[in-house]
Every structure is written in C-alpha cells, then in structure tokens.
Amino acid sequence: MSRSVLVSGGSRGIGLATAQRLQSQGHRVAVLSRKGDGAEGLLGIACDLRDPAAITAAVAQAAAAHGPVEVLVSNAGVSIDRLLLRLDDEELLEQVETNLLAAVRLTKAVAGGMARGRWGRLVYVGSVVAATGSAGQTAYATSKAGLVGLARSVARELASRNVTANVVTPGAIDTDMTAALPEARREAIAAAVPLARFGSAEEVAAVVAFLVGEEAAYVTGAVLPVDGGLGMGH
C-alpha cells in the first residue's frame, strides 16, 4: 500500500537514500531540507528545523500534496566536533534543536493524523555514539541519545492506535561528512569496526524500509544498530 512519507534531511546521504528507497516501493515521499531540494520523484520542501512554525507549515504542505503523513523518518542531524570545554552555547543549541527538538516537534505535528488514521510509523535516525560516547561529540551524542527516550515514550503513548516508533543507529557510514575526513582518520575508524569497513547509506535505508513495512508491525520501541558491530555490547 502506498503511504504518505516525510523524511527530514532528505536531500543527501542517509535521508536521500531512504527517501529514494521508499519512493521506489511506491510511497509518496516528501523530503525536508534547508533549501527545499528534492531528487526526481520526491517533493522537496524547504524547512528550518530549528523553527517550530516552519515545521508545522512543512508538515501541512506535505499533507496537502500527499495526504496526512503516515510515515515519519526523522533523519536530519548536525554534528559540530568540539571538546566540551570549548563548546559554546550556540553550538550546543544548534545540535540539540536540530537533532532532538526537531524530532519531537515533527512527531507532535504528525502524531494526531496517525492516531486518527489508526496507523503510523515513526523512525528516528540516531547514532552509535549515543551509546558509546565519543570525545568531541558531547552535544551530538546527547541529542541523539534523546531520540531513544522519545521513541520509547511515543511507542507507549500511540501503541493503541497502531503506531510504532523505533530508532536506527548508524555507525561509520559513507556520507559527505565522513568523506571529508583525512584518509588516516577514515582508516582508523574502519579498523575499529568489526566488519572493517564503512557502511553505505543504502544499507541504513534498507533497515528503515523494513521498519516502515508491514513485516515490522510488531516491532516498536526498538533500537536497531546498523554499525558493522562498532557499538555491540552497548
């Protein structure tokens, strides 16, 4: 069945791979980004995820085009690599607002429609560092860790309405962000992964697509790692 899907951070990387995979399965997909870029077949909507009013407007635009949002993939994220003692308040707020508060606000904006329709899928893209920690990523890890509490609380609140909520936690994934790292750093990261390689955005998208599908109807409140074993035991 074709569903109305909204993907934040859907113009590149994991978000784009996810949006394209869901679109290829016949879903009607809108993607949020700062510029409103949308690949072929995707509805691009410009949205500043730090602005509550912009989020409300973007969800309304997606619903007007594709019907009430039935699947939310909250993927957008920003990471500023900074040791805690050097982290200024603006950098902290940017990460918390984009990575966590936007997910809460998006969820609130779509949850009513899901409850009324008695069907919904909420998928949050977290990070392995939320469980393992990482020097220089205190704010990022904190904001991503908050997605687990969000998903599990919402899973309990909306279970009676046939709405599931889960978190996918990628590890070292080939994206624009990791491509910019020095080669020596990339090699060190890959060496720490039991599978000894970076993952692809498409591999993460496959897990998200599983959670969206009917095969995962009995999966809720779960945290599914896609990290090559990097975070196992956490």
Structure tokens at 18: 């996810």
In 3D space, the residue among 155, 112, 111, 103 whose CA is nearest the CA of residue 130 turns out to be: 103
DSSP annotation of 99 reads: I
Tokens 């993952």, residue?
Answer: 199
Residue 137 amino acid letter: Q
Catalytic positions: 140
Distance, CA of 31 to CA of 234 (rounded, Å): 31
Residue 52 makes CB contacts below 8 A (sequence gap 6+) with: 105
Structure tokens at 166: 């889960």
Task: Find out whether 111 and 55 touch, Cβ atoms under 8 Å.
Answer: no
